Structure 1
Amino acid sequence: MVTKGILIDRIDPSSDRAVFRQIADQLRQAIESGRLREGEKLPSEAELIEHYGVARMTVRQAIQELRNEGLAVAEHGRGVFVRRRPPVKRLASDRFARRHRKDGKAAFLAESEAVGATAGVDMIAINEVQPPEEISERLLANEPVVARSRRYLRDGHPVELATSYIPASIARGTKIMEPNPGPGGIYARIEDQGHTLERFVEDVSTRLPTRDEAKLLNLTSGTPVFRLIRTAYDLEGMAVEVCDTIMSGDAFLLSYELPAH
């Protein structure tokens, strides 16, 4: 039986915790301990009903609990599987290093290669617009910007939505206005314009995705997103780009190295 070796405990009828939550707890523990591995099929409804001696609706509530948490995903006609969640380790102190641009690699390409993944980008849109107020405040200017929106893919799966806002005075007439900005990405093109990058400031928050974000990132119910807003400054202290990024919460691990002095 599939449940053998995966689900050892029985439910406790004397517990104050609802039966479906007890079942979800045991399935979650099996996932977190590795007894149920990523991509592996969960025991079927019939197997869980037999194992626990409960009604079908109770089993369905337990499985829905895992789906709401983003731990499991249902595939029509095949069953419910442990969700694959290979994270990219996003090294904030390294991903924008100048050496990557010199090697002709934008940040997403560099971080994807570091974990052996293939990077991709689609849904590119480039427009000259008046920036939202939040962006104007970060750029310390109320002038037109070039907004570059795109969706990033890892091994063909969408993981990130990003919109960069670059002052039009910097971007006009450059490859920043083109779908492919060339080796090193838009930061390399900004530096080509004489704005040597000196530092980045990132503000990170978490929330549940909007309906459109969940659709574009193929997120299961309950999966949160990171919202990361990054401002790039040149050597003169001028803000030369603001990037508003929405990242799938189960596809990234944010890692920061901070000096102790």
Structure 2
Amino acid sequence: VDSLEVKEEKASQDISTRLGSVRRVLARRRRYLLDGKPVEFATSYLPLDIARGTPIAEPNPGPGGIYARLEELGHHLDHFEEEIRARMPSPTEVKTLRLAAGVPVIHLVRTAFDTEGRAVEVCDTVMAADAYVLSYQLPAT
């Protein structure tokens, strides 16, 4: 990670909807490098009533990251929903990821739900498609 920003902000309409009509969120923005080259940037959005005043609001939330802190706060994780799409990058994404001409991105939006069914985090991630292979194992039943 070569850049990290943690701040409170107004939720976009999409993030608000995914988090159950939350108006303000704690946003954790970071960019990831591989061999010194940017390959991904991601923003995690958490409802303020969960994250404000906790280690989640600190640059280093501690061992296990924000999911461990959510669990400690009583938000036991139950499942995730992911939306994945490939697309051409915006000019800002080209600059942020230093993409060569013609390189697409993978846009992944993951929502984490606790055992009560509450959405407790949305992670919006953009990845350089030439740096990743997405591989999954899913149960057949």
If the TM-score is normalised by the length of the shorter chain, which range does it land in? Answer: over 0.9
* Aligned sequence identity (%): 57
Q: State how many pairs are aligned.
A: 141
Q: 1:216 — aligned with what?
A: 96
Kept in 1, the 8 Å contact 2:2–2:31? The answer is yes
Gaps of 5+ in 2: none
Specify which of 177, 184, 193 is matched with residue 73 of structure 2: 193
3-state SS of the aligned residue for 2:133?
Answer: strand
- 1:132 is the counterpart of 2:12: yes
Specify which of 46, 51, 57 is matched with residue 177 of structure 1: 57
Q: Which of the two has greater helix per residue?
A: 1
1:111-190 maps to which residues of 2 (within 5 A)? 121-190=1-70
Q: 1:112 — aligned with what?
A: none
Q: Which of the two has greater strand per residue?
A: 2
Kept in 1, the 8 Å contact 2:22–2:47? The answer is no
Q: CA deviation at 1:168?
A: 0.4
Q: How far apart, CA to CA, are the structure 2 residues paired with 1:209 and 1:164?
A: 20
**CA RMSD of the aligned region, Å?**
1.1
Q: CA deviation at 1:250?
A: 0.8
| Larger RCO (alpha carbons 8 Å, 6+ apart) | 2
What TM-score comes out, normalization by structure 2 length? 0.95
3-state SS of the aligned residue for 2:5?
Answer: strand
What TM-score comes out, normalization by structure 1 length? 0.52
- 1:245 is the counterpart of 2:100: no
3-state SS of the aligned residue for 2:6?
Answer: strand
Q: 2:82 — aligned with what?
A: 202
Q: How far apart, CA to CA, are the structure 2 residues paired with 1:181 and 1:194?
A: 16
Larger Rg: 1
Amino acid at match of 2:123: C
Q: How far apart, CA to CA, are the structure 2 residues paired with 1:186 and 1:214?
A: 28
